[in-house]
Amino acid sequence: MISGQNGAGKTSILEALSVAALTKSFTEAADNTLVQTGAENFSLDAQFLSDLGVGLRSKVEYHLGPPARKSIHVNNDKLRRASDLIGRIPIVALTPDDKVITGGSPEERRRFLSLVLSQSSRLYLEDEIEFRKALRHRNSLLGNLREQGTSIARASALLAPWTEVVIERSARIMSRRATFIKEFSPFLLESYELVSGASESPPLRYAPMGFEHDAESAHQLRAFLEEEHNRREQEELKRGMTLIGAHRDELVILIAPEREAKRFASQGQHKSLLVAMKLAEFSYLRDATNETPILLLDDVFSELDAARSHRLLQLIASGRFGQTFISSTTRENFDEMIDFSSNQHRLFVVASGKIETR
């Protein structure tokens, strides 16, 4: 556990772990915002030990520039791409800001899907990278063609290479997401019962652009996307943006049949769902990667009521969720359930820019 007052730097420690494992902060903060005020760079050096006892050293350096520069080394070898590190050190983070997963926009739930699947599947990660690259180029070109008043026939020909990549990669991404929902759901049901103590079963539904058939078939999804492209090609040119693809999907979280959590869930249900989603993510990644993820809980207990806090602490104290880093402004609620004098649990206090072991 990491204890300290607001602004003492507790979250910075967890962010450093996230950068070392994912090359970025779990808060989605830009790299330049992680540099200490008045400094020109940050550098972190972390060592990890796998379940099989294999060591991995991750070193990340970032310089503000200009131009901004970022380098990543694993076991002293410089990585060509930041994405080459993702998945090697699975990590799951939960913060109060993650409430957008259950109550926010579809984009937030797509981000959740992408982070979990990118850590568990190298093929999925490559598809995401290529899809995003093609989408950026296609949107940029669409905007230029709209400004120039290009004919639909000419625009279609110029867009064709990027259209092909968007459709092909989207079909594969959407197919994998649909399969993931079926694989992930049992973990979510189990975690929700552990956290809430309720017998409710929050189902998930994947809605890839309204496709209502077998969403797991990449072949069918590709045919569907091609039909949608032909139908909406003129509209895309008129609006200057891509209207088909994996960036238009929705993960629907329900609290009962046909009752979406973002519309009907109570505050307590939202909190239980959020914690359950993250614990289910932990269990899913552990099974998918054959590696126990690192769990980061950043000031989440201040958002939970006594009953939910108690259940979550019981789970953490039991060791069921592996190595867990908890940040909190208070430690009173933890002392009753966690023995910080044992070798299994450690307490760190952050004050005046220094970390002390208690």
Domain 96-290 in this protein, CATH class: mainly alpha
Position 175 scores a pLDDT of 93
φ and ψ at 297, to 5 degrees? Answer: -120, 105
Helix (H, G, I), strand (E, B) or coil at 126: helix
Please, what is the average pLDDT of the chain? 91
Q: pTM above the 0.75 mark? A: yes
pLDDT at 24: 94
Opening angle at CA 221, ends 217 and 227, nearest 5: 150
Three-state DSSP state, 88: coil
Residue pLDDT, tens place only, 48-84: 999 999 999 999 999 998 899 999 999 999 999 999 9
Q: What is residue 210's predicted lDDT score, i.e. its pLDDT?
A: 67
Task: Give backbone dihedrals phi and psi of 195, rounded to 5 degrees, phi first.
Answer: -80, -45
- Tell me the CA distances in angstroms from 168 to 36, 85, 180, 303, 332, one per residue in order: 42, 25, 19, 42, 53
In this prediction, residue 329 carries a pLDDT of 86
- Count other Cβ atoms within 10 Å, centred on residue 146: 16
More confident residue, 217 or 326: 326
- pLDDT interval class at 305 (50, 70, 90): confident
Residues in the chain: 358
The alpha-carbon radius of gyration of the chain (Å, integer) is 22
The span from the CA of 104 to the CA of 89, in Å, is 28
Mutual orientation of helices 267-289 and 106-120 as an angle, nearest 10°?
20
Under the banding of pLDDT at 50, 70 and 90, the label for residue 202 is confident
224-239 pLDDT, tens digit per residue, is 999 999 999 999 999 9
- Is the pLDDT reported for residue 319 higher than 90? no
Tell whether the model's pLDDT for residue 35 goes beyond 90: yes
pLDDT above 90 (res 303): no
Question: Has residue 160 got a pLDDT over 90?
Answer: yes
Q: Which is nearest to 289 in space by CA: 178, 171, 124?
A: 124
Cα distances (Å, whole numbers) of residue 8 to 40, 302, 352: 21, 16, 7
Beta-bridge partner residues of 72: 60
Task: Give the C-alpha distances (Å, rounded to integers) separating 351 from 10, 20, 333, 354.
Answer: 9, 23, 20, 5
C-beta separation of 120 from 289 below 8 A:
yes
Residue with tokens 């993820």: 293
- Please tell me the predicted confidence (pLDDT) of residue 216: 65
Amino acid at 89: I
Report how far residue 240's alpha carbon sits from residue 237's, in angstroms, rounded to the nearest whole number: 5
pLDDT for 101 beyond 90: yes
Q: What per-residue confidence (pLDDT) applies to 39?
A: 92
Quick: pLDDT tens for 79-91: 999 999 999 999 9
Is 107's pLDDT higher than 90? yes
pLDDT in tens, 186-201: 999 999 988 887 767 7
Q: So where are the chain's domains?
A: 96-290
Query: Which pLDDT value is given to residue 100?
Result: 94
Question: How does residue 354 score in pLDDT terms, banded at 50, 70 and 90?
Answer: confident
pLDDT at 212 over 80: no
